Amino acid sequence: MVLADAFIQGILMGFLFALISLGLTIIFGVMDIVNFAHGEFLMLGMYTAYCLSISLGVDPLVTLPLCGAVGALLGLVSYYGLVRYLLRGPMVAQLLGTFGLMLFLRYLAVFLWGIDYRMIKKGLLVGKSLTIGPFHLDMTKVVCALLSLVAFTVVSWIIFKTRVGKALRATSINREAASYMGIKTERMNALAWAMGGITVGIAGGLLANFYYIYPMVGLLFVMIAFATVALGGFGSIKGAFFAGILIGILETVFPIIGHLLKTSIIGPHYKMTIVYLAYFLVVVFRPRGLFGWEQ
Amino acid sequence: MGAIREAFDFSDFPLVERIGFGIFCLFLLAFPWLGMDSFGMAVMIQFLLFSLFGMGWNTIGGYGGQVELGKAQYVGIGAYTVAVLMVRWDIPYWFSMPLGVLIALGYSFLIGYPLFRLKGHYFAIATIATSLVLQDIFINWNFVGAAKGIELPIKGNTFLYMQFTNDTYYYYFILAYFLAGVLYMNWFRKSKLGYQLRMIKIDEEAAESLGIDARWCKIKAYAIASAFVAVGGSFIAVYNLYIDPESVMHLELSIMIALMAMLGGAASLWGPIIGAAILVPLDRYLGSWLGGHKELMGVDFMIYAAIIMFIAAFEPRGIWGIVERYRGRRT
């Protein structure tokens, strides 16, 4: 029973993980660059939802479009201000560059808001719960999971069904060939960063509904996103979706198993360890993930 | 014998660099008599320590070109081995330090073997992941003091446990490590492994086609880097007399180590020293200045982050790269 409950919680978190990882995988797919600052984009999305809902006195869910806009702006500024220059350098420079961006945004948040943990306490859904049969679920989590599912579907629709999406995918498959076909690959890079920013900004706005908001929150989720993207296959959108759910289940069910077996060796304090280990095992033993291309 | 002669042989450097380094060494030896206050002394010790870390990172990160962001786990292994053995069984430093280095070497082979199947970003993220796993284990492991950390017993002035009441002793202690590190790196860069690594960095496939076992070379360089860092970690244990997972295994420590070498100039002998000479005083003096201004919290890290981004975008070869470009020659 406890296990089934954890399972459902895991799936709900999984939808959100999938949305967080979506941006990372799009950016990686299009330009082969890992954005270490992805978690910090998420963190800033959370702060956006927090500040707006406090200062305007509205429900945090109303602020979602603005969270997306902030994310998009972050993505574009990062691309035009930094990443464009990093692309000319060696891979070492690309890694350290986005790493620097991560540190910068994190300590910008420390500077602006301090290191206190914050939480949104007011809102239409905060504190309400949904009862389906024997399961009691947090209303906020259910709604957030559903909204992430919607956002994920919309973005995948854009990528798979529209003309722009086709150009984006062409760029990610073969940059040179795409540019011969008249696709402006430079603009596709910017688009990838903007889309990555929007999705993760919205994910941040959703997460802010039920998670603590603090400047260091990014590291936790960026590691989850790395594990998710690695598991699903770098650059794969379908992979990000299923791997997100899998990681969500892993993260919630694992501590319960320790509880059921009455050992303290497996417990909630190791729930992140299991995510890191999952990443490590996947990249070592199946580097292309579940749905990635054979390299 | 040949190796020792090689280590002391700086003759392939230009005269200016040799004289500069000689003067710098004299300055380091004379430093405690220059009348600096205890804060200046602490900064200097920190500088030598981080130069040592940076030199270690340089073997795999600089010469080998692998972005390694998990060095803090070896700082932790070195520091914890010394601390735990001293607290539990009263074992002297000179026995526990080599043991810590051996453990670090063993652990580095253990995880280096699967790790170096990976390349590029996969590798970089995996090094972070392994470091975080080890940190999680130490945070929850009661035997080593868990999250509270571990306090070393005070022994007074003793060379056996390497504990002193005066910082001057610690200064010469870390200076000895530093100079040994410089000599080792001077030998390393001319060694067979050093050349193999540079070849791998330029073109791994070409290196393999010449019969170099790239993965094995990287594992060896990674082990050397880990040993260096573990020695530095053992120094932290006896110097601070208190360690916890937050202070010796944190991700930011790994970043600082890589950053100093990158900033100074990876794959050069002087690079990590220059990087540490800039960043450590910046860190300490900025930190002490900002300590009095609570509203400016976080600004120091924003400044580092800006430096990282700037270096990565415009001069990935670091400050030494700028010097060499100015001179118009490559080494």
Q: Give B144's contacts (C-beta < 8 A, 6+ positions apart).
A: B80, B83, B84, B138, B150
Residue-wise pLDDT tens digits, B36-54: 787 888 888 889 999 999 8
Question: Nearest chain A Cα to B309, which residue?
Answer: A97
What integer pLDDT is reported at residue A294 of this predicted model?
Answer: 46
Q: Quick check: is B326 in a domain?
A: no
Q: Quick check: is B269 in a domain?
A: no
Q: Answer with the residue of higher pLDDT: A149 or A288.
A: A149
Residue-wise pLDDT tens digits, A111-126: 888 878 887 777 666 6
Instruction: Please indicate if any CB of chain B lies within 8 Å of the CB of A255.
Output: no
Average of per-residue pLDDT across A259-263:
67
Asked whether residue A81 carries a pLDDT value surpassing 50, the answer given is yes
Q: Quick check: is B111 in a domain?
A: yes
Average of per-residue pLDDT across B21-38:
81
Q: Quick check: is B261 in a domain?
A: no
Spacing of C-alpha A260 from chain mean position: 30
What integer pLDDT is reported at residue A285 of this predicted model?
Answer: 79
Count of beta carbons in the 10 Å neighbourhood of residue B10 = 14
B263-295 CB burial, b ≥16 within 10 A, e <16:
bbbbbbbbbbbbbbbbbbeebbebeeebeeeee
The single-letter DSSP state of residue A292 is P
Asked whether residue B201 carries a pLDDT value surpassing 70, the answer given is yes
Task: Quote the domain boundaries for residue B116.
Answer: 2-251
Average of per-residue pLDDT across B146-152:
77
Q: Quick check: is B309 in a domain?
A: no
CATH class, domain A2-285, is: mainly alpha
- Tell me whether residues A89 and B259 touch, CB distance under 8 A: no
Average pLDDT value for chain B: 82
Mode of pairing for the β-strands spanning B150-151 and A129-132: unpaired
Percent of chain A with pLDDT over 90: 4
User: Out of A86, A99, A284, whose CB is closest to B114?
Assistant: A284
- Tell me whether residues B251 and A230 touch, CB distance under 8 A: no
Average of per-residue pLDDT across A234-245:
82
Spacing of C-alpha B91 from chain mean position: 25
* Nearest partner of B131 among B116, B115, B146, judged by Cα: B115
Asked whether residue B146 carries a pLDDT value surpassing 80, the answer given is no
Asked whether residue A293 carries a pLDDT value surpassing 60, the answer given is no
Instruction: Please indicate if any CB of chain B lies within 8 Å of the CB of A89.
Output: yes
Q: How many helices (H) and strands (E) does chain A have?
A: 12, 2
The domain total for chain B is 1
Q: Quick check: is B323 in a domain?
A: no
Average pLDDT value for chain A: 81
- Tell me whether residues B133 and A277 touch, CB distance under 8 A: yes
Domain ranges of chain A: 2-285
